[in-house]
Amino acid sequence: MKIRAAVLEEFAQPLVVQDIELDGPGPGEVLVRLAACGVCHTDLYTASGADPSGYAPTVLGHEGAGVVEEVGEGVTSVAPGDHVVTLFSPQCRECIHCQSPKTNICLAIREQQNLGYLPDGTTRLNRGDERVRHFMGTSTFAEATVMPEIALAKVDPEAALDVVCTLACGATTGIGAALYIAKVEPGSTCVVFGAGLVGLGAVAGCRLAGADRIIVFDLSEERLEHARGQGATDTLVGGQDSVERVLEMTDGFGADYTFEATGNVAVMRQAVESARMGWGLCTVAGVAGKGELLEVIPRFLITGRRIAGASFGGAKGRDRVPELVETYMKGDLDLESLVTNRVQLDQVNDAFEAMERQEGIRTVLTY
């Protein structure tokens, strides 16, 4: 079938919105008619050429949601008409990692996915004789996509797809960092560095977990206002003295839990040093640039602080994303306010530019 898609032709150049051919689903695969897709920093990171594992040509996009249109042989968990959220982090439920509660990093299709292919080592995207690779196993900057069954979360059909698409990456990464990685305890003090979508998700996760105090740092007053809307109790403009300010607010001890959601290694260090002596946990959710290093003074670890990473917030997507959608539907999770702009596919490059200017929280492409 012919679809419109945003193709990365060359690094550091605008995406090219064009017609492209999409083959039907093979065994274990699903064709999804997309309704919406968030524009995430990861897409921009790859498009810029900064991602050492990037490749072109490819159809970018990974924060998608849509409706199942066709299923391949052997698919049993979804059927035509089902509403789904795409998962760049799949869940096969069978590999050694999926069987363990210690991680959400599924091993089933990881190797081929990282190379831009579906599990059988081929693609469903083409321009005549030229094959076009998939991105993060999703390629959701398009009117439709073909994905593995294990990379789709079936969700409530009443949920607004142009809102719950945020759970395909950014929002879940932040919420999960608080709920599934840090496992924030009621009555605790939390600090979140960065109030973009991931950071605001972390604020919401801390609130849902019953944190008593949620301190948020960002450079934007507009984003700090969003943080207050998600449950932040204290909001401050970040700077070189952020650690000292956290210590002043916590009787010199630091916070029980800290979260880094900027991708800036200097801020990551602040998040580590803001964690409480004795048991403080710093969860890093931001993605640093190629070759960058996080400097940690060993004394901070020896005196009881810990550091954890948060890929997709530790969420096993097929299980957790439907639960988060239900939390949203019950009114306990405000995702709507996080979608600050909706544009058409042809405006995807404008959305990248707005992101670089840090305008709003999340721009969503609607199809």
Residue among 37, 58, 63, 223 flagged as catalytic: 63
63 is catalytic: yes
Residue among 29, 37, 40, 134 flagged as catalytic: 40
* 3-class SS of residue 16: strand
Residue among 4, 33, 70, 95 flagged as catalytic: 95
Residue among 46, 62, 190, 250 flagged as catalytic: 62
Residue among 110, 131, 213, 228 flagged as catalytic: 110
Tell me how many helices (H) and strands (E) the chain has.
Answer: 11, 18
282 is catalytic: no
What 8-state DSSP symbol labels residue 283? E
97 is catalytic: no
Residue among 207, 320, 362, 363 flagged as catalytic: 362
Residue among 37, 42, 86, 260 flagged as catalytic: 42
Which alpha helices (DSSP H) does 82-169 contain, by range?
A: 110-115, 161-164
169 is catalytic: yes
Residue among 165, 169, 190, 282 flagged as catalytic: 169
For strands 83-86 and 63-71, give the pairing.
antiparallel
42 is catalytic: yes
Other beta carbons within 10 Å of 256: 23
Residue among 41, 83, 207, 269 flagged as catalytic: 41
Token pair of 299, please? 């004394």
Gap between the Cα atoms of 116 and 243, Å rounded? 41
62 is catalytic: yes
Residue among 29, 46, 83, 106 flagged as catalytic: 106
41 is catalytic: yes
How far is Cα of residue 175 from the mean position of the Cα atoms in its chain?
A: 10
Residue among 29, 37, 92, 166 flagged as catalytic: 92
206 is catalytic: no
For strands 189-193 and 257-260, give the pairing.
parallel
225 is catalytic: no
Q: Do the Cβ atoms of 290 and 314 come closer than 8 Å?
A: no
> Which active-site residues does the annotation give?
40-42, 62-63, 92, 95, 98, 106, 110, 169, 362
